[in-house]
Amino acid sequence: MKYGDLLKDKLYPFLNIKLVNKKYGTLGFALLLIVPVFIIIILIFSFSSDSQIAVFKSHEEKIFAHYQEHIFGIDISHYQGRVEWEKVKQFKNGEKISFIIMRAAIGEDEEDQEFTTNWINVKKLGIIRGAYHYYRPDENSIKQADNFISIVNLEKGDFPPVLDIEALPNYQSIKSLKIGLIKWLNKIENHYGIRPVIYTGDSYYHDFLNDTIFQKYVFWIANFNRVKKPKHKNWKIWQFSETGQIDGINHDIDFNVFQGDIMALRKMILK
Give which of 147, 191, 150, 198 is closest to 177, Cα–Cα: 198
Give which of 96, 106, 168, 107 is closest to 140, Cα–Cα: 107
Give which of 187, 196, 129, 189 is closest to 164, Cα–Cα: 196
86 has catalytic annotation: no
H, E, C per residue of 63-77: HHHHCCCCEEEEEEC
Using the Cα atoms of residue 267, residue 223, residue 100 and residue 261 in order, give the sign of their dihedral: negative
Secondary structure class of 196 (helix, strand, coil): coil
DSSP alpha helix (H) spans, 152-257: 174-192, 202-204
Angle between helices 141-151 and 174-192 (to 10 degrees): 30
Give which of 166, 164, 231 is closest to 202, Cα–Cα: 231
Q: Which of 110, 166, 189, 242 is catalytic?
A: 166
Residues carrying an active site annotation = 166
